[in-house]
Structure 1
């Protein structure tokens, strides 16, 4: 289990403690619960003799998930782990839907509206909302963890793949290219780009080899656009043959390979677009920031024979990675949901107004998105339910639990556990 964060009476962060110690402090009424996610307690009496040891916050930013790990550099112990799921795709879909409705509205015979100019000036460093949300999510959790634990340094995976190194192997000297890291950058990029399967037969879950689409013997280059993945059987069978001759009986696959070879890796492009902006956000905290590449992360993880997970990748970021202690760690799964919709007029799929939303968001002391605990003592739904609540003015709430959505729970049975903050939480198995 992850350790429990501790705050003193002045809300200053102390060293995290074991969950058993936290239970004992709560049982003896020496502390109170400060926050449920991540679980934090606050002491009722100050401890002037408490020792504070700074930790390193490690981040592995991704297009869909970001790994977060809090590591003790001296002992290698991982004291906190989390996986943050972004909502970039949801934002993109919402913007696309709004744009389509706006265009259809302009094509209909509606009232004339004079054109407005200079209302779309983009400031320097502007990013599309689906990418900016990733940076804001990470920034929120970096600031939150800095308030809950003593953090002395930050490590960030700056690039998933060192593109300069792949194009010019000598850019950082021969020791980097010909040492133990040789090939990690290119191979990891190809594994992501070709979906970890053989380009010629589609087989998965076997050792794959880096293969030249146009053979070196026939003048093919080492460019990343000329490389793919192949199983040993297909690689041997193709040899130095021209790919058009090798796949002359499967023209569909041949066309797919040519198209995929020229296509950039979408997720890597999203990460590369936001990486420098995120680095500036981390530097603004005033803490020293260490950077690393995805190839180095995989090398550190492979050396310690750890499984592939987002939070483990985060713990392996950078050259400062010690021998990690991860026994018993259960990561906190954080999903970004946003703060709801501010539109007062709801429309159908054609953009025609069909409903009106109320501006009152709080009903009986609860707001949609709060995490509540409902203990139902009477009626058809007797039992205990914990989850995200959907509020109604009638007082009949719905609760989204792990087992599914439970409808018709009265507000009288509900107790708030965690107020709405734009995220939902669960713990990994």
Structure 2
């Protein structure tokens, strides 16, 4: 099943999304035209009545990928009608900044040694975030604004805060009884499922039991660094042995588990750093903002039997995600690609110039980043190809599937906007 199609009136005011079949009928009858391909949007040629239903944009922010979902609250209940996964380029930005810093530092040390150091005379505004983190906030907000412009959304939901259903059912609960609510241990279990990919740390089979590396009977704690996932067989076989004793004859497995336990928390730190800023910016939209924790999202998804996906997690965010229809949609995959750079010459890995770069970006009517279709009718490369084009001054362009296609075979589907699209 495909995503719903966004619909605009002739004055560009949004209407409720329609089904792909309805959009196809309008296009074939000449009552609408294609406005943009990604996300697929049509514009009517005659104004239509504005009939709306409650429509919420739900977000599951992540360090590498953010899930987006549109959930409608209709007569038959809540159901997801559009899903997308937005892949960020935060790490690419960080690496480019590190490379730039190294080049500038080298240049200053070679030619400007007499200048005093500048690292101590720079100030930052309150709420400043590193560019690699701010990129995640800005791209998520950009897509939230785009969806707001093309749909009649009236609320937002964001995965953010801690949550306990026991507190909702019994507001006066306190102490140990409060801690033993419905979601007791769910945060830890959700973290371990994500870290170990739902598999036993010892044998690689499916694992759902929380195992202590150093048993509690031998002084082990309940800290997250001492916990892994395990299957029932390995849990019983290990008993109260230390990790080194249990895997004495399997040094490769021992080394892998120890390395995994020391894995970086970079992604977790990135999400924690941006969530408050993202929440503040979403409040500026003027819509009610619902929040929910990651454990609640996982709880809602598993209780309803949905498969793991970023856009499915987005649909299950918050209280409204406890009961939501998630049909097998073909989610739109959005990848942040950037808009090129202003570098005037290509450099080698050491930063020395090795080739000239032309100032002209548009070649034969196409620009790198445009989504195009190439219909090649002759030669060894005959066929139909669709994707993000990379242009050259020679007129021979490259697509992800094939290289060296002449520009006369190309037609533009979607002008480059800094993103790559696929399904």
Give the superposition deviation at 1:228.
2.4
Closer, same or farther: CA 175–282 of 1 in aligned 2, 3 Å: farther
Q: Report 1:226-375 matches (<5 A).
A: 226-243=226-243, 245-247=245-247, 260-261=260-261, 265-321=265-321, 323-375=323-375
| TM-fit CA distance, 1:153 | 0.8
Distance 2:342 2:277 in 1: 28
Q: C-alpha offsets along residues 85-129 of structure 1, whole Å, 9 cap, x if unaligned?
A: 11122222222333333444455x546673473774322222222
The TM-score normalised by the length of structure 1 is 0.86
Q: Say if 2:372 and 2:387, in contact at 8 Å, map to a contact too.
A: yes
1:390 is matched with 390
1:405 aligns with 2:418: no
Q: 1:150 aligns with which of 149, 152, 155?
A: 152
Unpaired stretches in structure 2, ≥5 consecutive residues: none
Encode CA deviations 1:318-359: one digit per residue, 9 max, x unaligned.
111253333341100111101112111321112111122222
For the structure 1 residues 235 and 383, does the alpha-carbon distance in structure 2 shift closer, same or farther, using more than 3 Å as the test? closer
**Structure 1, unaligned runs of 5 or more:** none
The change in CA–CA distance for 1:113 and 1:305 in structure 2 (over 3 A counts) is: same
Distance verdict in 2 for CA 1:206–1:394, change over 3 Å:
closer
Q: Measure the CA separation in 1 of the matches of 2:151 and 2:177.
A: 38
What's the secondary structure of 1:359's corresponding residue? Answer: coil
Q: By how many angstroms is 1:409 displaced?
A: 1.5
Counterparts of residues 85-164 of structure 1 (less than 5 Å): 85-106=87-108, 109-110=110-111, 114-115=115-116, 117=118, 120-158=122-160
Between 373-382 and 147-156, report the one with greater CA deviation. Answer: 373-382
> Cα offset for 1:140?
0.9
Q: Is the 8 A contact 1:291 1:318 kept in 2?
A: yes
TM-score, structure 2 as length reference: 0.88
Q: Partner of 1:390: helix, strand, or coil?
A: coil
After TM superposition, the structure 1 stretch with the greater mean CA deviation from structure 2, 109-118 or 70-79, is 109-118
Number of matched pairs: 413
Q: 1:181 aligned to 157, 180, 183, which one? A: 183
Out of 407, 411, 416, the residue aligned to residue 412 of structure 2 is 416
* CA shift in 2, pair 1:103/1:174, >3 Å: same
Secondary structure of the residue aligned to 1:73 is strand
* Cα distance, 1:419 vs structure 2: 0.8
Q: Is residue 2:80 matched to residue 1:73?
A: no
Q: Deviations over 1:135-188 (max 9, x none)?
A: 1111111000000111111111116999xx9xxxx9986666433322211111
* Structure 2 SS opposite 1:93: helix
